[in-house]
Amino acid sequence: MQKARKRNILGILIDEVDYDGAVRAILKAAQERRPFSVSALAVHGVMTGVLNSEHRYRLNHLDLLAPDGQPVRWAMRFLYGIRLEDRVYGPRLTLEVCDVAAREGLPIYFYGSSREILDGLCRKLRQRFPKLIIAGTEPSKFRRISPSEKEDVVQRIHASGAAIVFVGLGCPRQEVWAYEFAPLVSCPVLAVGAAFAFHAGEVPQAPVWMQNAGLEWLFRLAAEPRRLWKRYLFLNPAYLALLLLQATKVGRFSDEGQRPKTELLFG
């Protein structure tokens, strides 16, 4: 299997990958029981790395960074002439991986969100994929955890027999989790953001036409204005301005970052 090529978008190394390529890479790692860290990044995810050199280091040391948002996919074309047929949307990637896991008999594990959302998520997924093996679920503690708690989490995942771990802690905490935990759990770790709440039926998704037009951010802003207004009204224009600087070579964006001095241990 050919390895996806990484492209520098504002210093963040986004993989030139589609759904099929991402699923095949995840499946291969799951079958081989080896670490493989994945995140699907929209504009907000990219900008968290642009604005923080330690987080840029984490992102660029994940194994696969898929272009989740349409503006990230469009940036691949704008800067490099790469015409991906579609973005790799975290919620859809979740379903595609669950489908393969069910067919291949690979147990999965869900970490993050609330117990209510996890219960709804499992119920809906079992209805959709009757053969899906859910090895375990664990809600977020919504705080930083201790080193001993981290060891307990790793042991629970190992004991469950999970071959794939999905993480829904929100950006950027879930990418931090994938960076810190993937080497220890010896299986793919997928940071999939709002996929848990979407598939549990707790949060509505934007209409397909808004997703295709790159307007999902507007739908989510209208649904949660108090929580998301700073994210979208400041970061989206900054992203576009920086892309223009990169395209005109006025700005240069290093992908090096700075190795984190300490673990954040989000739970």
Integer angstrom CA distances of residue 239 from 75, 111, 192, 194, 214: 10, 30, 21, 21, 14
Integer angstrom CA distances of residue 7 from 85, 107, 177, 224: 16, 32, 23, 32
Does the pLDDT of residue 131 top 50, yes or no? yes
Segment 17-28 shows an average pLDDT of: 97
Percent of the chain with pLDDT over 70: 99
Following CA atoms 48, 165, 183, 35 in sequence, which dihedral angle do they give, to the nearest 10 degrees?
-110
CA 225 to chain centre: 22
Domain ranges of the chain: 5-200
**What pLDDT sits at residue 3?**
62
For the record, the structure tokens of 239 come out as 């992203």
Does the pLDDT of residue 248 top 90, yes or no? yes
Segment 230-243 shows an average pLDDT of: 89
Find the range with the poorest average confidence among 39-48, 87-96, 169-178, 193-202.
193-202
**What pLDDT sits at residue 123?**
97
Nearest to 257 by CA among 37, 51, 80: 51
